[in-house]
Homo-oligomer: A and B are copies of this chain.
Amino acid sequence: MKLNRDMNILIVGLGLLGGSYAMSLTRQGYHVKAITRSHASVEYAIDEGLVEYATNEVEAQLVGEADIVVFALYPHVFKEWVAEYQKYFKSGAVITDVTGVKSCIVYDIQSMLRDDVEFIAAHPMAGREKSGVQNCDDSIFKGANYVVVLTDKNTQGAIELCKSIGEVLGFARISELSPEEHDKIIAFVSQLTHCIAIALMTCQTTPHLEEYTGDSFRDLTRIARLNDDMWSELFLLNKDALISEMELFEGELDKLKTLLIEGDREGLREMMRYSTARRAVFDKPKD
């Protein structure tokens, strides 16, 4: 079962990601409706034609008509929503999400969920340093990675459907991970990098530093602009994995420092050659 234009898609939470999903799917002729908390987001989504319909209320009929529900909410809000409103889901509906952490979410949702509805988690690895539906942009998916996060409760039909959403949105690579694998990798590639950007930005208060920076400093700190409400929740929900990746990274930085202290030029060059060779693997497919 792949995504098709007869299906009713409901997006819950029109932020940057929910809005970008809506923009992409609506532009491609899919039927997209939305529920979101803020009046301004409802108005914006309707004015910009991102959705066929949007509301602030959790309308039983609207939820009950949806074949697919995409949750783009903060983790704790997502859980509360499902607990309270799952009674409205259509029998046979598939629900998915965009949440940045998985172990703390997926099992809880799957165990509380009605037997006739399936939850299959996904993580679209795309974003911007600005939040909110007003900054949505469906081009962020181009060349990006999309991860389907599976447990043994998931069925082949739902896996295929969830992957086809990633394909329709334009992701370049679609892969599968368990919740535990996902959280360990995310701690490294996403959460650790945000920690580094924050620390770079807060550790120096030299005035006029911006007059002396090049692109390297700008690149490493682009993501130092973040939504503190969301990211603090994501960090704490994945705390153990994140702390262990921070320690791994600090250990490697210490290796580099030791080579410097010892004046070991060949050792430095070897690390640099390895990092240069390995970095080539990480270019976006379109690069």
Contacts and interface: CB of A to CB of B under 8 A. Distances in A.
19 contacts: A125-B214, A127-B214, A175-B208, A182-B212, A185-B212, A186-B212, A189-B209, A197-B220, A201-B274, A201-B279, A202-B274, A203-B249, A203-B252, A225-B279, A228-B269, A228-B276, A231-B272, A232-B272, A236-B268
Nearest to A125: B214
* Identical copies of this chain, number: 2
A218 interface: yes
Nearest to A258: B243
Could you tell me the dominant secondary structure of chain A's interface residues?
Answer: helix
Interface stretch (A52-60, A81-89, A150-158, A259-267): A259-267
B202 A190 contact: no
Interface of A: 125-127, 144-145, 147, 173, 175, 177, 182, 185-186, 188-190, 192-204, 206, 208-226, 228-229, 231-233, 235-236, 239, 242-243, 246-257, 260-261, 263, 265, 268-276, 278-284
A194 B209 CA distance: 17
A223 B219 contact: yes
Contact of A220 (B144, B145, B220, B255): B220
Given A127-B216, A196-B200, A203-B251, 6 more contacts: A190-B214, A195-B253, A200-B252, A218-B282, A229-B269, A235-B268
B199 A214 contact: no
A216 B198 contact: no
